């Protein structure tokens, strides 16, 4: 550390500590008289643990104020907290340790390895909540990010720094698709946030969907469904902060978050607990304030890029529910996974006609773009006539366009199918697509 940095660090140290006392606990909310603190600041609650038979510190965050009382929410649990427990203000927000030593590790929302291993000394401390890049310093997106999935590379081409939503109901294959992208992508590093997942699914995703090849170039942040709402939100913020750290070092980072819906549900839980009124379908106003702040942090800056895939759970496959609608309006594209396509045994079950990449027109080659548009035309024509075809009401020769769509439907379906262990280069995907469209035009 340089002398100037050392002087600045020493001068920023607080020599006075602020304390308060717990007055009451309501659900997961803790009210204390003092200490002097601000929203987002981390506090330590000193309690005597009956299980460990010693005094421990419980981390909590200031989430609001009520009648001159400080309202806190703990990162872990409220057991052993009693009236009169000492509350100590740290004077700073949550910070995590970041560095190359995290690569290949699975950490909790506080940045600690969940296998109880130790991180090396000397790692950089960063705050989990940061401002998005200045819009005027964001370079335009003009390079393709190859993900190794034919349906995406061919029909929904993604650029370096693009943010895409994967919209799906439960059990349609979004985790499998994320695993394929993580293994096949040309990104320098994967940051994978598993938010609100079942405990069983975390290990299954790592071992089955991600595999050893994917783990080697990934950092996984896991916040399971049994953890408090604050930890689930911090999982998303921590993952984004880690991605920003590596982006600032010139890397092309791939951030995958499963799922942003559970982040919104956690924020709703906190909002209702601190007294916010429910606004849209039970979601509080703070939810719709959090989402753009979180999603806008990814993308490009002058150093590197964060290409982001956010999964969105849609209840009853309703694409117009509040969170899905809000997220779709913020992101640069959306991929819709369709249950009816999955039921036919086609994986990944991407509904191409309902999906869009807003940047494909600017980054894909002209031949590739024309071929994808031609494929969309054939698919759209077939979909419009599908009911007539299925009941036998359509007679061959009635429409040249429908005849052509019927002829190429099996070939298009075969092109879009891909096994989980198959990796296809972008050049091969584009070549197959162009060849297929030329046959269709012929």
pLDDT, residue 317, reads: 62
How high is the pLDDT of residue 440?
Answer: 55
pLDDT recorded at residue 1: 54
Residue ranges of the domains in the chain?
19-93, 96-364, 367-439
Q: Please give the pLDDT value at position 361.
A: 93
| Spatial distance between the Cα atoms of 158 and 398, rounded to a whole number of angstroms | 38
Best CA proximity match to 203, nearest among 188, 189, 222 = 222
Sign, Cα dihedral of 199, 205, 211, 217: negative
Half-sphere CA count of 29, side-chain side, radius 13 A:
16
Decide yes or no: CATH 2.40.170.20 for domain 96-364.
no
Tokens of 107: 């950490």
The answer to whether the beta carbons of residues 403 and 338 sit under 8 Å apart is: no
364-421 pLDDT per residue, tens? 999 999 999 999 999 999 999 888 888 888 888 888 888 998 998 999 999 999 998 8
Domains 19-93 and 96-364 share a fold: no
**Exposure of 396 in the CB half-sphere (CA atoms within 13 A):** 3
Q: Per-residue DSSP letters for 254-306?
A: EEEEE-HHHHHHHHHHHHHHTTPPP-BTTB-HHHHHHHHHHHTTSEE-SS-EE
Q: What CATH architecture applies to the domain 367-439?
A: Up-down Bundle (1.20)
pLDDT tens string 118-172: 888 888 999 999 999 999 989 999 999 999 999 999 999 999 999 999 999 888 8
In this prediction, residue 161 carries a pLDDT of: 95
Peptide bond just before 192 cis, omega within 30 deg: no
Considering the domain 19-93, what is its CATH architecture?
Answer: Beta Barrel (2.40)
Which regions in the chain score pLDDT beneath 70?
A: 1-2, 4-6, 8-16, 51-52, 316-318, 440-442
- Residue 137 main-chain phi, psi, to 5 deg: -100, 0
The answer to whether residues 205 and 196 touch, using CB atoms and an 8 Å cutoff, is: no
């Amino acid at each position: 550390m340089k002398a100037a940095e050392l002087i600045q660090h020493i001068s920023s140290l607080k020599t006075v500590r602020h304390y308060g006392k717990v007055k009451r606990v309501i659900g997961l909310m803790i009210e204390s008289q003092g200490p002097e603190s601000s929203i987002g600041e981390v506090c330590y609650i000193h309690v005597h643990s009956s299980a460990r038979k010693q005094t421990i510190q419980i981390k909590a965050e200031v989430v609001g104020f009520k009648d001159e009382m400080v309202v806190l929410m703990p990162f872990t649990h409220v057991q052993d907290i009693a009236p009169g427990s000492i509350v100590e203000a740290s004077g700073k927000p949550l910070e995590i340790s970041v560095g190359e030593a995290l690569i290949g590790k699975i950490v909790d929302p506080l940045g600690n390895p969940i296998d109880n291993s130790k991180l090396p000394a000397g790692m950089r401390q960063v705050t989990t909540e940061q401002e998005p890049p200045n819009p005027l310093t964001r370079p335009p997106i003009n390079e393709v990010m190859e993900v190794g999935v034919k349906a995406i590379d061919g029909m929904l081409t993604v650029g370096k720094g693009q943010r895409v939503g994967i919209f799906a109901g439960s059990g349609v294959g979004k985790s499998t698709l994320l695993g394929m992208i993580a293994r096949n992508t040309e990104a320098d590093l994967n940051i994978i946030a598993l938010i609100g997942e079942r405990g069983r699914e975390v290990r299954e995703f790592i071992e089955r969907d991600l595999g050893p090849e994917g783990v080697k170039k990934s950092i996984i942040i896991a916040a399971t469904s049994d953890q408090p709402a604050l930890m689930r939100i911090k999982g998303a913020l921590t993952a984004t902060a880690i991605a920003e750290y590596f982006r600032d070092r010139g890397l092309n980072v791939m951030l995958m978050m499963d799922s942003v819906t559970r982040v919104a549900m956690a924020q709703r839980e906190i909002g209702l607990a601190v007294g916010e009124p429910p606004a849209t379908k039970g979601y509080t106003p703070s939810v719709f304030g959090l989402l753009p702040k979180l999603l806008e942090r990814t993308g490009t800056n002058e150093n590197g890029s964060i290409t982001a895939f956010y999964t969105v759970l849609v209840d009853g496959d309703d694409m117009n529910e509040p969170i899905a609608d809000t997220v779709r309006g913020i992101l640069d594209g959306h991929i819709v996974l369709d249950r009816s396509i999955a039921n036919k045994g086609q994986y990944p079950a991407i509904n191409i006609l309902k999906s869009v990449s807003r940047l494909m027109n600017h980054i894909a080659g002209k031949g590739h773009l024309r071929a994808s548009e031609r494929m969309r035309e054939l698919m759209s024509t077939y979909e419009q006539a599908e009911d007539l075809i299925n009941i036998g009401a359509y007679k061959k020769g009635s429409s040249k366009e429908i005849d052509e769509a019927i002829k190429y439907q099996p070939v298009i379906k075969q092109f879009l199918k891909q096994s989980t262990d198959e990796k296809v280069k972008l050049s091969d995907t584009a070549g197959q697509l162009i060849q297929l469209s030329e046959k269709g035009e012929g």
